[in-house]
Amino acid sequence: KNQVEQSPQSLIILEGKNCTLQCNYTVSPFSNLRWYKQDTGRGPVSLTIMTFSENTKSNGRYTATLDADTKQSSLHITASQLSDSASYICVVGAGNNRKLIWGLGTSLAVNP
């Protein structure tokens, strides 16, 4: 069964600190992996999209990694800001039709 699991479920950090969010997937065949940021009450916004051949991809203070062998991805946030408080969702594209398998997200709270 195609599944995407994220950890931790929630996380609280202090402003300025770094953090890493994890995503494990059992999706086959793999097409791509995406990270989205969803602010409360808003629609998700794309952070990164990675294909099989990409190991790392950055978007400002966000860096995503992908290990296709172990089927794991991480999202690292550097020098966190209060505006980083949001839900971070890992999404894996599956198969030729690129059906998207959504994780439940990690809820991040950045406190002053």
Partner 1 sequence: GAGVSQSPSNKVTEKGKDVELRCDPISGHTALYWYRQSLGQGLEFLIYFQGNSAPDKSGLPSDRFSAERTGGSVSTLTIQRTQQEDSAVYLCASSPQWGGELFFGEGSRLTVL
Binding residues vs partner 1 (CB under 8 A):
31-32, 34, 41-46, 49, 89, 93, 97-100, 102-105
In the Cβ-directed half-sphere of 31, how many Cα atoms lie within 13 Å? 13
Minimum CB distance to partner 1 smaller for 17 or for 42: 42
Minimum CB distance to partner 1 smaller for 70 or for 96: 96
Minimum CB distance to partner 1 smaller for 12 or for 104: 104
Distance from C-alpha of 103 to C-alpha of 95, rounded to nearest angstrom: 17
Nearest-approach distance from CB 46 to partner 1, in angstroms: 5
Nearest-approach distance from CB 31 to partner 1, in angstroms: 7
Nearest-approach distance from CB 45 to partner 1, in angstroms: 7
Minimum CB distance to partner 1 smaller for 44 or for 110: 44
Tokens standing for 47? 């952070």
3-state DSSP call for residue 82? helix
Nearest-approach distance from CB 77 to partner 1, in angstroms: 20
Q: Where does 1-112 show beta strands of DSSP type E? A: 3-7, 10-14, 19-26, 30-38, 45-51, 56-59, 62-67, 72-77, 86-94, 99-102, 106-111
